[in-house]
Structure 1
Amino acid sequence: MSWIQQRLVRNLARNCRSFSASAPSRSTALTKTALSHRKAYAASALFWGSALAVAAGLTLKSTVHLDAEAAPTPVEEETRVDPATSIEFPTKMKIQSRTPLPTFTLMGVGVRTVSFLGIKVYSVGFYADLNDPKLDVPENATPEEKIEYIVKNRACVLRIVPTRSTSYSHLRDGFMRALLARQLLCRQRGQLTPDEELAIQSPLRKLKSMFPNTPLAKHSPLDILVTAPSPKQPRTLIVRDLGSVQSDWLASEFVLTYFEGEGISPPLKKSVVEYVKTHL
């Protein structure tokens, strides 16, 4: 064997040993490379998944925003503010009911105060149905007589809005005291016979029983509706969400207590009188 052949054999043997020694490291390198690619793929998938989720969220948000922009803007209703409490009352009131009701017009607002400290209990707005062309208010009557005529002949609403948290029972006690005083006054005036006085006791008890011993939150309106007179049935006094009671006397006198003398709320009576002088 020539020296050239001997060198070739030695080089071949050396290369085989070098290859065998480096095989594990190459395998490890390939494994690391594969893991690296796998991690990169997973990271890429996570990124695009997140990106798609964000895009979907932005698309949804954009859609909602566009829908909100496309929605019609509600018409702002005209209101009147009680200067003593800053409580607002809509100048027109439409009450949803299974039986169609008229649109009521605000005639005046005022505050109800109690005790010598002048604690403000609630603001009250007086509404009446003034849209009927048959409403024939006597032209030569005094403002007080015109108010009484409207109360006795048209549907009316008293909206009561507490200035502070109170209770239904507290309002009920005030209503009942006012009605008992009204009952005594009507008896003295000869406007209430003994039989009529006996007949109104049951409606009075029913009205008293309708008010629960639960709180009434500040600025939560309580609407008290009196239906228009009807030849078919007595007038109905309806306390929103609480119940109703039928009685011609109770329906009209409940409202008139707010206008007798100075009234339960002198500012309310003054406000309504001014409206009558201006519009009726």
Structure 2
Amino acid sequence: MLRQPAALGRHLPRARPSGAVLPGHANVNASRRTIFSLRPDKPSGRAVENLNIQRLSRRSNDYQRNKRIFLWSGAVAGVLSFGYTANKLREELAKPVKLDSSLPSTGPLAAAGTASRKVVVHDSEGRELVETGNSTVPTFPRTIDLPAYSAPTAPAPASGPLAPAVSSASTTTEYTLVGFGTRTVTFVGIQVYVVGYYIATADIAALQNSLTKKVNPIATTLVPGEREQLRTALLDPAEGEQMWDDLLARGIPARSAFRIVPVRDTDFHHLRDGFVRSIQARGPTGEHADDSFGEAMREFRNIFNRGKVPKSKELLLVRDGAGKLSIAFDDGGSKKEDHPAGRRLIGVVEDERVSRALWLNWLAGKKVASEPARKSIVEGLMEFVERPVGTVATQVV
């Protein structure tokens, strides 16, 4: 076995263990990495996105599901909103359409201290109505057409069909609503009927002139201060009754009517008792109550000697220029071409004192049948006298 010379061995490099690095030399293997090299434990510092396919799929499905729910909810809400709006529009169209707004109290045509004008509406047939505020009798016609009633050829029976309303002419007269109110009884305010006061439209000018001259003899219309003076006089128990008694005795207005519509079922006897008490309280007494007046009262009682008056049925008390009282009733029976309103005359009282005392029952005095009706009538008259005499208001309530 050959041995290396010692001197030569001293000059050969000594074998190094794997991985050792000579001083001053770079470790080439440490910085070199191939596709087969293991990933180092320390991250490289670059942004790395770890994708989870299942999680992304769930998120996509949830988004699509929520989107479908949102779209379907919007579609259902739109259909419901459309249906609700259409239903509300149909309900509004079925109601009377308001055509006139209230007049502000500061307006030039509004008297000081008066309430705003009531609203006139139109029903589905185009008729002008006034809202009463009563649920049973919600509206009153602004105008009514009445014939010149005369006595029937035979007394009206107490039961059965009513006698037809006889007119002395083929034409009718237009009456305009002045005011209305509800009649209540007892301390709890039980409602009995709604009553409205109508004046023949052609006779308004004469009433305008008479009321205006009572305050200012040279005026043709009253200013707010004069209207307030007239209002106070009409609402005064004594002065108001004297004014109305004088006007009615002179036939002013020449033609007028009270329209009574019960809000609950009643009968003619109940209405008659209330009317008779009011006539006796205001009619002639003592030596002024002659036999003719007593006979007129018996005729009046006999007219009301009949049966029921269902609620919402119309009873008309009509006074002509001579003071004759005609009483008509609409029992809701069959309507005829010559009497489209269905009204039937049930009696006539010729004595002017009966109708005058009955009119005062609603118009004036210390105690009236309906205080709201009296106040409403007075406010309607204020709108008469605020216009020049001879003009007829298109809206008087």
Query: TM-score, normalising length from structure 2?
Result: 0.46
Q: Which residue of 2 aligns with 1:209?
A: 302
Q: Which residue of 1 aligns with 2:324?
A: 236
Q: Which residue of 2 aligns with 1:105?
A: 176
SS in 1 for 2:182: strand
1:104-131 superposed Cα distances (whole Å, 9 cap, x missing partner): 1100010001111210000000001242
- Does the 8 Å CA contact 1:236/1:247 hold for their aligned counterparts? yes
Alignment of 1:92 onto 2:140: no
Q: Which residue of 1 aligns with 2:198?
A: 127
SS in 1 for 2:311: coil
SS in 2 for 1:249: helix
Alignment of 1:250 onto 2:354: yes
Give the superposition deviation at 1:262.
Answer: 4.4
| Greater helix proportion | 1
Give the superposition deviation at 1:278.
Answer: 2.0
Greater shift after overlay, 130-139 or 202-211? Answer: 130-139
Q: Which residue of 2 aligns with 1:274?
A: 379
Largest Rg, 1 or 2: 2
Q: 2:146 is matched by which residue type in structure 1? A: I
Q: 1:246 is matched by which residue type in structure 2? A: E
- Does the 8 Å CA contact 2:272/2:301 hold for their aligned counterparts? yes
Q: 1:181 is matched by which residue type in structure 2? A: A
- Does the 8 Å CA contact 2:278/2:357 hold for their aligned counterparts? no
Unaligned runs of 5+ in 1: 1-73, 188-192, 230-234
SS in 2 for 1:124: strand
**Are the structure 2 counterparts of residues 195 and 181 from structure 1 closer, same or farther at C-alpha, using a change threshold of 3 Å?**
closer
Query: TM-score, normalising length from structure 1?
Result: 0.63
Residues in 2 aligned to 1:96 and 1:195: alpha-carbon distance in whole angstroms: 33
Residues in 2 aligned to 1:134 and 1:112: alpha-carbon distance in whole angstroms: 29
**Aligned-pair Cα RMSD in Å:** 2.4
1:6-27 superposed Cα distances (whole Å, 9 cap, x missing partner): xxxxxxxxxxxxxxxxxxxxxx
Alignment of 1:155 onto 2:226: no
Q: 2:138 is matched by which residue type in structure 1? A: I
Unaligned runs of 5+ in 2: 1-123, 149-166, 216-229, 235-239, 329-344, 386-397
Q: Which residue of 1 aligns with 2:318?
A: 225
- Does the 8 Å CA contact 1:206/1:245 hold for their aligned counterparts? yes
**Are the structure 2 counterparts of residues 162 and 130 from structure 1 closer, same or farther at C-alpha, using a change threshold of 3 Å?**
same
- Does the 8 Å CA contact 1:164/1:218 hold for their aligned counterparts? yes
- Does the 8 Å CA contact 1:156/1:226 hold for their aligned counterparts? yes
Q: Which residue of 2 aligns with 1:173?
A: 273
Residues in 2 aligned to 1:147 and 1:258: alpha-carbon distance in whole angstroms: 11
Q: 1:273 is matched by which residue type in structure 2? A: V
Q: Which residue of 2 aligns with 1:83?
A: 133
SS in 2 for 1:201: helix
Aligned ranges 1:140-151 → 2 under 5 Å: 140-141=214-215, 142-143=230-231, 144=234, 151=248
Task: Give the count of matched residue pairs.
Answer: 196
Q: 1:257 is matched by which residue type in structure 2? A: N
Alignment of 1:261 onto 2:311: no
Greater shift after overlay, 208-217 or 136-145? Answer: 136-145
**Are the structure 2 counterparts of residues 278 and 228 from structure 1 closer, same or farther at C-alpha, using a change threshold of 3 Å?**
same
Give the superposition deviation at 1:147.
Answer: 5.3
Greater shift after overlay, 260-269 or 91-100? Answer: 91-100
Residues in 2 aligned to 1:251 and 1:101: alpha-carbon distance in whole angstroms: 21
- Does the 8 Å CA contact 1:121/1:162 hold for their aligned counterparts? yes
Aligned ranges 1:62-73 → 2 under 5 Å: none
Q: Which residue of 2 aligns with 1:32?
A: none
Give the superposition deviation at 1:138.
Answer: 3.1
SS in 2 for 1:228: coil
Alignment of 1:114 onto 2:164: no
- Does the 8 Å CA contact 1:87/1:123 hold for their aligned counterparts? no
**Percent identical residues:** 25
Q: 1:258 is matched by which residue type in structure 2? A: W
Residues in 1 aligned to 2:211 and 2:177: alpha-carbon distance in whole angstroms: 20
1:218-258 superposed Cα distances (whole Å, 9 cap, x missing partner): 100101101113xxxxx210111311010121122211111
Give the superposition deviation at 1:166.
Answer: 0.7
Residues in 1 aligned to 2:377 and 2:186: alpha-carbon distance in whole angstroms: 24
Give the superposition deviation at 1:171.
Answer: 0.5
